[in-house]
Chains A and B, each alone.
Chain A
Amino acid sequence: MTQRIFVPRDASAVSVGAERVVRAIEHEAQSRGLAVEIVRNGSRGLYWLEPLIEIETGGQRVAYGPVRPEDVAGLFDAGWLQGGTHALCHGPSEDIPYLKRQTRLTFARMGVTDPLSLEDYRSHGGLKGLERALAMKAEDIVGAVDTGGLRGRGGAGFPTGIKWRTVMNASGDQKYIVCNADEGDSGTFSDRMLMEGDPYCLIEGMIIAGLAVGADTGYIYLRSEYPEAWDVLEEAIITATREGVLGDNVLGSGRRFELNLFKGAGAYVCGEETSLLESIEGKRGLVRAKPPLPALQGLFGQPTVVNNVITLASVPWILAQGGEAYKAHGSGRSRGTLPFQLAGNLKHPGLVEVAFGMTLRELLYDFGGGSASGRPIRAVQVGGPLGAYLPESRFDLPLDYEAFTAVGATVGHGGIVAFDDSVDMAKMARYAMEFCAIESCGKCTPCRIGSVRGVELLDGMMAARPQQSNDDALLRDLCQTMLDGSLCAMGGMTPYPVLSALDHYPEDFGLAPKRKEASA
């Protein structure tokens, strides 16, 4: 009997040797005369164990990892095809506490299925949401998303239902669904995982969005740094079109939805929705002034839904299970789950989908296992390069949009980057300004000039150390100008990491140690 062995095709797993492990398994199985079928699944998201190999045996899957090519012969010797014990064995995958303690709704199929098998997708609950949506009135689809309380997962947290309703009610010859897959924030990789590991889920979400607002054309704006995601999506779109999921007759309904894949070109600011639209139109990615909202005048001047990958991929579950079921998870006004991404200096980095409301400390220690270096965690940046740095005194903050906003921080796209006590926070503040200077689109002055001036000020402060420079007042003033005067979040949020570093780690800037009550 041919036995199935799962080896992720996920870019991260491949980056640490999954391809070489595949070749080693094939070679070893052949020389032993064993029939095995290697299935390339997505990653389970337990990245410190990648390459994580799963063996299907006795009605379950047993996990081994991290597996190096040189481990493979020994694993066969240990009888891993029968789930044999070995130093790298973690028992049944589903029982690994890191996975077991999660609430995987959007990522339910992640690592379980073959990403490109539409059959697998269907047999694991896929297309149910779309089938329901096809039988519903547009208003009711939007209503379900409203009831679920889904908010934009890209970072802004804007209620998805309100955005959809605006586009639904807008008049235009042509409406568009645009998926923002320009996941540029450091510490985030959930979009990449989903596109590589469950692409039909995103496709299904986009078709449902199209049905809701009356759009028959969609674009996925994918960053060029994700070549594997490109290949998977390209093939998934071809298959979905051939199988009648996409195209002129969606699941035989007579409804039409066509999907285009568009490659970005390395500009971080194109993750900002209006800059992204300019980019698809073949222009420099300059941010547009709002209003008009993209919902009314978006792509090519037509009403457009711009949603992040995870937002759209959350929609099929909501339609299949109902808005109430989704709303049952979460805390306060943050409903449902968020696939958090643990990164940076952590022992167990990975993908953790849980309901809103969990504290940062639980994520960092219960899931993350503390720092990788074994030194104390000194600072955590939540929400990407535009998110605040949080010291240990903030680790008990619940992960919830409002709770974070209240202390000048942001949940953003759910990326969490940990730093140990060797970090120089003045250097991180300087980096935030430098990154803004490199990536600013240049349209507004506070961002374009402010970021350059910020780098200069921080250079001066760092050069003066251990003496105190008097430039901190000037730096705060500059940050205020950027906060108040920038056209978009690029310049408008770069001050968050800078000010939070200044507030919580003044000693790193040559300033007197921390004041009692810091603001953010």
Chain B
Amino acid sequence: MSSTNQADLLPALHQLQEKLGYIPDDAIADLARTHNMSRAEVVGVIGFYHDFHRTPPGRQRLRICRAESCQAMGADALAMHASERLGVEFGATTADGEVTLEAVYCLGNCACSPAVMLDGELHGRVSTERLDAILAEGRGT
């Protein structure tokens, strides 16, 4: 991050988050200085985008599509199942720090609804059984 241009802020945030999984508080001042912005502006940008997190996420990130096409194919039941199985609400991380459960609005997999994404991996036509299998595989069990 040697740039002084605000236009490089989003790529820098992506890079940081990819490395650490979140944007730590102590990176804010540095981001502000290198992109010629105030700290408040940097925090404002981070807060605007769903992708960026300011606290460490779980080891894995499970995103379940809650949008219309997936709803038409049973995504609500799938979401409820995931929440019950993991024992967390959407937006929260399991107590063991393994999985963060998130809602996502469209993964572009609408012709294979319902869809989920575990970390970067996309899955289609996901039944509750399939979701259990995907999670089990992800945990290496």
Contacts and interface: CB of A to CB of B under 8 A. Distances in A.
Interface of A: 11-12, 14-16, 45, 47-48, 50, 183-189, 191-192, 224-228, 262-268, 279-285, 300, 341-345, 349-351, 372, 381, 385, 415, 417-420, 423, 428, 431, 435, 438-439, 441
A239 B124 CA distance: 31
Contacts of A385: 67-68, 105
Given A15-B122, A284-B45, A184 B110 contact: no
Contact of B10 (A186, A188, A227, A262): A262
13 contacts: A15-B115, A186-B69, A189-B108, A224-B14, A224-B51, A225-B104, A227-B120, A262-B11, A265-B52, A267-B50, A282-B5, A283-B6, A285-B48
A430 to B, nearest CB: 12
B125 interface: yes
Given A281-B6, A431-B68, A11 B14 contact: no
Interface of B: 5-11, 13-14, 35, 37, 44-45, 47-52, 65, 67-73, 104-113, 115, 117, 120, 122-125
A282 B110 contact: no
Contacts of A417: 68-69, 72, 110
A344 B72 contact: yes
Given A186-B70, A189-B111, A266-B51, A16 B125 contact: yes
A45 B113 CA distance: 14
Contacts of A191: 108
Given A11-B122, A435-B105, A344 B110 contact: yes
Given A11-B109, A344-B69, A372-B73, A267 B115 contact: no
Contacts of B5: 282
Contacts of A227: 120
Contacts of A263: 10-11, 14
Contacts of B71: 428, 431
Contacts of B44: 284
Contacts of B8: 282
Contacts of B104: 225, 266
B11 A192 contact: no
A423 B72 contact: yes
User: Ordered nearest first, which 6 A-B pairs have the shortest CB separation?
Assistant: A186-B67, A47-B111, A265-B49, A343-B110, A266-B50, A344-B72
Contacts of B9: 282
Given A50-B112, A344-B72, A12 B124 contact: yes
B76 to A, nearest CB: 9
A428 B123 CA distance: 24
Given A187-B68, A284-B45, A417-B69, 5 more contacts: A15-B109, A16-B112, A192-B108, A265-B49, A438-B105
Nearest to A11: B122
B6 to A, nearest CB: 4
A187 B11 CA distance: 28
Contact of A344 (B51, B105, B113): B113
A150 B110 CA distance: 26
Contacts of A381: 68
Given A186-B69, A265-B49, A418-B72, A282 B108 contact: no
A302 to B, nearest CB: 13
A224 B63 CA distance: 13
Contacts of B109: 11-12, 15, 189
B49 A343 contact: no
A282 B122 contact: no
B106 A266 contact: no
A267 B35 CA distance: 21
Given A11-B122, A281-B7, A265 B110 contact: no
Contacts of A428: 68, 71
Contact of B111 (A264, A267, A350): A350
B7 A16 contact: no
A265 B10 contact: yes
**In the complex, which of the residues B68, B71, B107, B117 has the most CB atoms of chain A within 10 Å of its own CB atom?**
B68
Nearest to B65: A186
